């Protein structure tokens, strides 16, 4: 029986994925490394440190650990400049009605995100009160596809892993959900998220009962 819903943040709840791209693109341009939207897909659900390593690999570059940390911090400052201007307009369509309906029906709701800025984003968009539990990059040590973030989320909700559904827009996030023995709803296309147990274009006119019904089918 499904009792808990675990959500990724970027690209699932709020439209912040574009800001990650803008920030990484600025860093890549500074290093004369070509970085495209397609390349950016590889960074979804991945830690900041690993994301920068991927960019370096794209450019065939190497860099000391200290230098990498400096660039990661610079990227984060660029990203923060964007998100500090966020409002409720950044919430993706249908998300608030879906969360409200699910909570009214007794489902427990958690955030499971690699973002170290999750608390700030939820505060700026007035979404914090929708979540019973928030697990983010400041409270877990392993990045997706390691399932730590979702296992911790289920545990803090007081639920078994198999009682939870994960909503994700990244391949690594889908993998993490499955490693945790949870069903995974891919927010995106089957082409981009082939391992997901079902797919959503978004949350408009969608109910948790409909999702559970399709997953069971």
48 Cβ neighbours under 8 A, 6+ residues apart: 72, 75, 76, 116, 137
Q: End-to-end distance of the chain based on CA atoms, in angstroms?
A: 14
Q: Which of 10, 136, 169, 197 is catalytic?
A: 10
Q: How far apart are CA 111 and CA 108, in angstroms?
A: 11
Tokens of 103: 């909570």
216 Cβ neighbours under 8 A, 6+ residues apart: none
Backbone angles phi, psi at 189, to 5 degrees: -90, 160
Q: How far apart are CA 117 and CA 160, in angstroms?
A: 27
Q: Are 116 and 10 in contact (CB under 8 A)?
A: no
| Residue 10 known to be catalytic | yes
Q: Are 190 and 171 in contact (CB under 8 A)?
A: no
Distances (CA, A) of 87 to 112, 131, 188: 21, 18, 23
Q: Which of 8, 136, 169, 197 is catalytic?
A: 8
Write out the catalytic residue numbers.
8, 10
């Amino acid at each position: 029986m499904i009792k808990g819903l675990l959500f990724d943040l970027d690209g699932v709840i709020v439209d912040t994925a574009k800001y990650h791209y803008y920030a990484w693109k600025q860093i890549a341009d500074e290093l004369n490394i070509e970085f495209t939207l397609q390349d950016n897909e590889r960074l979804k659900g991945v830690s900041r440190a690993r994301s920068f390593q991927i960019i370096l690999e794209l450019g065939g570059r190497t860099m000391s650990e200290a230098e990498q940390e400096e660039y990661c911090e610079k990227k984060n400052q660029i990203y923060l400049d964007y998100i500090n201007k966020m409002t409720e307009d950044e919430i993706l369509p249908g998300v608030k009605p879906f969360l409200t309906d699910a909570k009214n029906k007794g489902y427990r709701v958690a955030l499971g995100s690699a973002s170290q800025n999750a608390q700030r984003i939820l505060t700026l968009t007035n979404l914090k009160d929708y979540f019973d539990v928030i697990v983010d990059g400041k409270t877990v040590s392993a990045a997706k596809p390691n399932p730590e973030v979702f296992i911790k989320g289920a545990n803090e909700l007081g639920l078994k892993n198999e009682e939870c559904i994960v909503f994700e827009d990244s391949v690594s996030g889908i993998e993490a959900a499955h490693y945790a023995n949870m069903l995974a709803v891919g927010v995106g296309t089957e082409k981009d998220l082939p391992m997901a147990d079902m797919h959503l274009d978004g949350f408009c006119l969608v109910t948790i009962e409909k999702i559970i019904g399709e997953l069971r089918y």
